[in-house]
């Protein structure tokens, strides 16, 4: 089957924890408060940048809008300092595209910084589309961005998969009527959602799609 494969970004294609946490702690330092652990910041990821900042500064009496704007600037400056592709991502996407599948990204991270990261990591050539926050669609678990990608490419739900490491990815896929796959190697949880498939690694997912 020549699937449309829509991937989440953080925790699915890239391990961005160090840069996300680094930006949080740089801003916390600017406001004179102690840093948070990598594990704690990681637990805040998945619902978009505004929620990440809100959760990361819940213990600080500051203007939320000011902190959010400062975080945007800081993260934009260091978004690929330590961010890495998960093993097998580049090679896997190339194999999927060569097999005739269409690949895209749907993320709750702002679209502009997401595209910049994907450019720097040399993945854009493998992708038919990248939809993120501030691109005109409600954040996942809303299916709006996913439905837009399917409509743009003329793909019916039965020919599409949503792949991600967070329950918002799985819920968006369910709401759009597509198959879902949980990236168990990432840093999110299913949150009780019931994905069609579980992948222990990105390469496992590639092999699954190539034989399905």
3-state SS class at 22? helix
Instruction: Give me the pLDDT at residue 63, please.
Output: 95
List, for residues 176-200, the tens digit of each pLDDT value: 999 999 999 999 999 999 999 999 9
Picking from 126, 169, 119, the residue whose alpha carbon sits closest to that of residue 146 is 169
Residue 62: count other Cβ atoms within 10 Å of its Cβ. Answer: 15
Phi, psi of 123 (to 5 degrees): -110, -15
> What is the mean pLDDT of the segment spanning 10-22?
98
> What is the mean pLDDT of the segment spanning 153-171?
98
Which residues are CB-contacts of 124 (< 8 A; sequence separation ≥ 6)? 115, 118, 130
Picking from 69, 48, 57, the residue whose alpha carbon sits closest to that of residue 29 is 57
Instruction: Give me the pLDDT at residue 54, please.
Output: 97
Give start and end residues of each alpha helix (H) in the chain. Answer: 17-30, 38-42, 49-56, 64-77, 89-98, 111-120, 144-153, 167-176, 202-211
Instruction: Give me the pLDDT at residue 124, please.
Output: 98
Instruction: Give me the pLDDT at residue 128, please.
Output: 98
Q: Does domain 4-15+84-211 have CATH number 3.40.50.11900?
A: no
Phi, psi of 112 (to 5 degrees): -65, -50
List, for residues 39-94, the tens digit of each pLDDT value: 999 999 999 999 999 999 999 999 999 999 999 999 999 999 999 999 999 999 99
DSSP of 42-77? HTTTTS-HHHHHHHHTTTS-S-HHHHHHHHHHHHHH
Query: What's the sign of the alpha-carbon dihedral 60, 21, 65, 143?
Result: negative
pTM for the model stands at 0.97
Say if residue 1's pLDDT is above 90: no
Report whether 86 contacts 202 (CB < 8 A).
Answer: yes
What's the gap between Cα 191 and its chain centre?
16
List, for residues 113-154, the tens digit of each pLDDT value: 999 999 999 999 999 999 999 999 999 999 999 999 999 999
Q: Do domains 4-15+84-211 and 17-77 have the same CATH topology?
A: no
CATH class for the domain made up of 17-77: mainly alpha
Residues recognised as catalytic: 8
Domain locations along the chain: 4-15+84-211, 17-77
**Band (206; pLDDT cuts 50, 70, 90):** very high
């Amino acid at each position: 089957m020549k699937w449309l494969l829509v991937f989440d970004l953080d925790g699915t294609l890239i391990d961005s924890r160090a840069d996300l946490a680094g930006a949080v702690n740089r801003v916390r330092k600017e406001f004179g408060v102690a840093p948070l652990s990598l594990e704690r910041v990681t637990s805040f990821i998945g619902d978009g940048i505004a929620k990440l900042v809100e959760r990361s500064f819940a213990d600080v009496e500051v203007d939320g809008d000011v902190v959010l704007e400062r975080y945007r600037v800081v993260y934009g400056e260091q978004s690929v300092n330590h961010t890495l592709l998960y093993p097998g991502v580049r090679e896997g996407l190339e194999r999927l595209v060569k097999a005739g599948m269409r690949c895209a990204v749907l993320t709750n991270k702002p679209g502009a910084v997401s595209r910049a990261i994907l450019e720097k990591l040399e993945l854009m050539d493998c992708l038919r589309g990248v939809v993120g926050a501030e691109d005109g669609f409600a954040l996942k678990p809303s299916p709006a961005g996913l439905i837009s990608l399917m409509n743009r490419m003329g793909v019916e739900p039965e020919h599409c998969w949503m792949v991600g490491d967070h329950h918002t990815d799985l819920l968006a896929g369910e709401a759009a009527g597509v198959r879902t796959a949980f990236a168990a190697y990432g840093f999110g949880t299913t949150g009780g959602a019931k994905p069609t498939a579980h992948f222990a690694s990105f390469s496992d997912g590639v092999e699954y799609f190539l034989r399905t």
